[in-house]
């Protein structure tokens, strides 16, 4: 009984770290292993402890908006998990592998259903209901460089918005194709053409384009969106209502996928999941709504001129923020080909780890170990461990992908989860190699800022 109590205490400590929004949650794994070794707890309990760990992490990724009912959900899960621990610990000799397997699968399904229902019913009504406050003026700002059909589709969707106090600005970032003509073609629909200035020193191209848009915009709320993002008629209204109902200064939206069966959707990288683990409120740069005053208070984009993930710096500066994890619920979606998504990931994965080679190696080893661990158990005839670990992986992967793709596509993406992890490790290696050679291009522009070596004084001649 003492061992069981110690295991539950470790789990409570981990959840307290999570609830306090500290970045110490990853310490829970070595803590659990240390307790197992120090107290001689049966290794049968280790995968059951991992069920707790992965269920909470999956809930973290999927249910990150934060609800007053989250604490009660966690408490209910602990009751069920404690019951499973009790049965397995005191009655393990009489339990067969199929019974334990069914128990673990039912436990995973319970976590999915419980969190999913609350996410769809309670939180949906709370966040996206209409606001009774006066509507502020909104500026939808879109930077564009060498864009074609993607820009046309985005502008077609943007001008259909039913939000009355809306201006649409599109900046041509020194394009070499028909992008300026495409923008001007929508002038009669109220789209303002902004001619971009040549890129200034120490600025990243996208950040400088957003800076110019923020200077030209007149709205009380700025919505910065990529050219491959598509809006429904109610998207702008839903974003504004979310900001007003929750009294926040910044809202980021993770766009849903227009075609959830497409290869680029099924093999979408897990960066959203990693952001959910590392940040109290994960932020997504494809669509960000921020109050003008809040942006100016932190110095505007000049404060983030050379940040590849400027949205992370913005989030650190503006604490009062919120994230919508699935844009489909408010009519915001994205279409990106598999090739374009791979190119984006090769540009973004290494900067996501702050261009740290040690972090990249640790991440790759940890990810490959997580994928290979069940195979090691199977080869060693540890069928129970393999079954329970695979069950927890499946539950975690399903919750992650269900939030983005829906039920059936989420199931397929969850089945591809091990391949996605390996694929992401390969892309990370390519990304690190490209940045080490200072050879990363976006829209015919090298986005690698040169690295200078500082010398205290000139050498003697």
pLDDT category of residue 39 using cuts at 50, 70 and 90:
low
Given this model, what pLDDT does residue 9 score?
54
Q: Which two tokens stand for residue 75?
A: 């408490």
**Mean pLDDT score across all residues of the chain:** 70
Closest CA to 404 of 196, 119, 132: 119
pLDDT tens, residue by residue, 218-235: 999 999 998 888 999 999
Q: What DSSP designation does 91 have?
A: S
The strand ranges marked E within 216-285 are 221-225, 229-231, 250-253, 256-257
Taking the domains of the chain in order of start, what are their residue ranges? 2-128, 138-336, 342-439
pLDDT digits (tens, 9 = 90+) for 310-367: 888 888 888 788 777 677 778 888 877 778 778 888 887 888 787 888 888 988 887 7
Alpha carbons 100 and 392: distance in angstroms, whole number: 13
Token readout for 330 is: 């408010």
Q: What is the pLDDT of residues 394-452, one digit of tens each?
A: 555 655 555 555 555 666 766 777 788 888 889 889 988 888 877 776 666 666 654 33
Q: Which pLDDT does position 264 carry in this prediction?
A: 63
Q: How confident is the model at residue 98 (pLDDT cuts 50, 70, 90)?
A: low
What's the CATH code, domain 138-336?
A: 3.90.550.10
Among 120, 118, 131, which residue's Cα sits nearest to residue 239? 131
pLDDT at 193 over 90: yes
What is the model's pTM?
A: 0.67
Which pLDDT score, from 0 to 100, does residue 165 have?
A: 92
Distance separating alpha carbons of residues 94 and 418, to the nearest angstrom: 33
- At 256-266, the pLDDT tens digits run 776 666 666 66
269: tokens are 């990288």
Q: Say if CB 173 and CB 197 are below 8 A apart.
A: no
pLDDT in tens, 54-68: 555 544 444 444 443
């Amino acid at each position: 009984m003492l061992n069981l109590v110690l295991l539950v205490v470790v789990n409570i400590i981990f959840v307290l770290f999570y609830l306090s929004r500290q970045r110490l949650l990853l310490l829970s794994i070595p803590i659990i292993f240390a307790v197992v070794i120090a107290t001689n707890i049966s290794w049968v309990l280790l995968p059951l402890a991992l069920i707790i760990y992965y269920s909470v992490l999956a809930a973290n990724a999927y249910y990150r908006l934060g609800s007053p009912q989250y604490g009660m959900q966690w408490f209910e899960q602990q009751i069920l998990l404690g019951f499973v621990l009790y049965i397995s610990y005191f009655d393990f000799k009489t339990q067969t592998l199929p019974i334990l397997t069914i128990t673990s699968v039912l436990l995973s399904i319970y976590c999915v259903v419980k969190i999913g229902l609350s996410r769809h019913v309670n939180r949906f009504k709370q966040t996206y209901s209409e606001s009774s406050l006066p509507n502020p003026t909104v500026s939808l700002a879109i930077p564009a460089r060498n864009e074609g059909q993607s820009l046309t589709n985005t502008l077609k969707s943007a001008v259909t918005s039913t939000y009355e106090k809306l201006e649409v600005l599109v900046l041509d970032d020194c394009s070499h194709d028909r992008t300026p003509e495409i923008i001007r073609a929508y002038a009669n629909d109220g789209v303002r053409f902004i001619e971009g200035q040549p890129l200034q020193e120490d600025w990243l191209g996208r950040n400088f384009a957003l800076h110019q848009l923020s200077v030209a915009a007149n709205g009380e709320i700025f919505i910065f969106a990529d050219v491959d993002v598509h809006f429904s008629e109610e998207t702008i209204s839903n974003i504004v209502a979310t900001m007003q109902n929750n009294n926040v200064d910044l809202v980021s939206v993770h766009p849903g996928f227009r075609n959830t069966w497409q290869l680029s959707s099924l093999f979408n990288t897990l960066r959203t999941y990693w952001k959910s683990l590392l940040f109290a409120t994960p932020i997504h740069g494809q669509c960000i709504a921020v109050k003008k005053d809040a942006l100016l208070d932190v110095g505007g984009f000049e404060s983030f001129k050379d940040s590849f993930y400027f949205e992370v710096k913005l989030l650190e500066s503006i604490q009062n923020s919120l994230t919508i994890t699935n844009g489909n619920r408010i009519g915001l979606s994205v279409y990106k080909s598999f090739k374009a998504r791979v190119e984006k990931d090769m540009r973004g994965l290494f900067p996501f780890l702050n261009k740290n080679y040690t972090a990249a190696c640790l991440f790759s080893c940890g990810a490959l170990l997580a994928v290979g661990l069940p195979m090691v158990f199977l080869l060693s005839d540890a069928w129970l461990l393999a079954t329970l670990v695979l069950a927890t992986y499946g539950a975690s992967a399903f919750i992650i992908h269900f939030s983005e793709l829906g039920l059936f596509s989420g199931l397929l993406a969850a089945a591809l989860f091990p391949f996605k992890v390996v694929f992401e490790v390969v892309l990370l290696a390519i990304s690190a190699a490209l940045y080490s050679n200072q050879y990363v291009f976006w829209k015919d522009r090298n986005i690698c800022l040169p690295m200078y070596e500082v010398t205290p004084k000139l050498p003697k001649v």
